[in-house]
């Protein structure tokens, strides 16, 4: 006690409640005896659910995906050529994937606009994958063959020269050939 009349003895602790011990007597009832080890049950159940979710959300989908890729991947595909790999680097460097996706979903609208839905094997070996998350511009997964080479050059130089209301940025520096890049 830090308050109260000076010199008075501190009041004694209150008497313990008569039934205070009853809380410990739960063990007397068989069902409650189990609960004494509740922490073991909770730990086992927690670990069990964690393992279950790991199997259901990580292991199983991965195996299914691997099987799908092996089953659908065409054999004898060529590796990407050097200039294709360089294009990929430029695509990543310039942030094209901030506006373009390369992943056609199997929804009706996507298929109508962009073509056959992307299969898992198509990007299985890509690292990092450049699926993109936004479509300010169209999906480019099936861009090949849609427009001519000249169209692409003009479009990258200045998109407005071929698509007047385009809001895609210009990329004129892609046409500069610096000495250290000679021949590239």
Cβ closer to ligand HEC: 117 or 137?
A: 137
Residue 120 or 162: the one with the smaller Cβ distance to ligand HEC is 162
Q: How far apart are CA 11 and CA 1, in angstroms?
A: 8
**169 near ligand HEC (CB under 6 A):** yes
Question: What whole-number distance in Å separates Cα of residue 120 and Cα of residue 129?
Answer: 12
Binding residue (CB under 6 A) for ligand HEC from 115, 117, 142, 166: 166
Q: Which helix (H) or strand (E) holds 85?
A: helix 82-93
CA distance 168 to 162: 11
Q: Which of 66, 146, 172, 177 binds ligand HEC (CB under 6 A)?
A: 146
Q: Which two tokens stand for residue 2?
A: 């830090």
Closest to 139 (Cα-Cα) out of 119, 170, 115, 107:
115
Q: Tell me the site size for ligand HEC, rule CB under 6 A.
A: 22
Q: For residues 69 and 130, which CB has a smaller minimum distance to ligand HEC in the complex?
A: 130
Residue 104 engages ligand HEC in binding (rule: CB under 6 A):
no
Residue (of 35, 38, 50, 139) closest to 96 by Cα position:
139
Please give the structure tokens belonging to residue 87.
Answer: 């294009």
- Tell me whether residue 127 or residue 175 sits nearer to ligand HEC (CB atom): 175
Q: Which is nearer to ligand HEC, 68 or 158 (CB)?
A: 158
Q: Rule CB under 6 A: say whether 154 interacts with ligand HEC.
A: no
The 3-state DSSP composition of the chain as helix, strand, coil percent (nearest 5) reads 50, 0, 50
Q: Interface with ligand HEC includes 120 (CB under 6 A)?
A: no
Question: Which residues inside 4-33 make contact with ligand HEC, applying CB under 6 A?
Answer: none
Residues that bind ligand HEC (CB under 6 A): 91, 94-96, 98-100, 136-138, 140, 143, 146-147, 152, 159, 163, 166-169, 171
């Amino acid at each position: 006690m830090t308050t109260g009349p000076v010199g008075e003895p501190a009041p004694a602790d209150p008497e313990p409640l008569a039934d205070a011990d009853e809380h410990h007597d739960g063990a007397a009832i068989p069902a409650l005896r189990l609960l004494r080890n509740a922490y073991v049950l909770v730990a086992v159940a927690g670990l069990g659910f964690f393992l279950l979710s790991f199997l259901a959300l990580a292991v199983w989908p991965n195996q299914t995906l691997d099987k799908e890729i092996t089953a659908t991947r065409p054999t004898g595909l060529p590796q990407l050529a050097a200039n294709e790999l360089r294009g990929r680097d430029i695509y990543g460097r310039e942030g094209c994937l901030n506006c373009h996706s390369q992943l056609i979903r199997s929804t009706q609208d996507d298929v109508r606009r962009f073509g056959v839905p992307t299969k898992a094997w198509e990007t299985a070996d890509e690292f990092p994958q450049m699926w993109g998350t936004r479509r300010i511009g169209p999906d480019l997964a099936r861009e090949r063959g849609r427009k001519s080479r000249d169209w692409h050059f003009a479009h990258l130089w200045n998109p407005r020269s071929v698509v007047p209301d385009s809001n895609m940025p210009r990329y004129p520096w892609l046409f500069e050939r610096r000495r250290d890049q000679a021949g590239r």
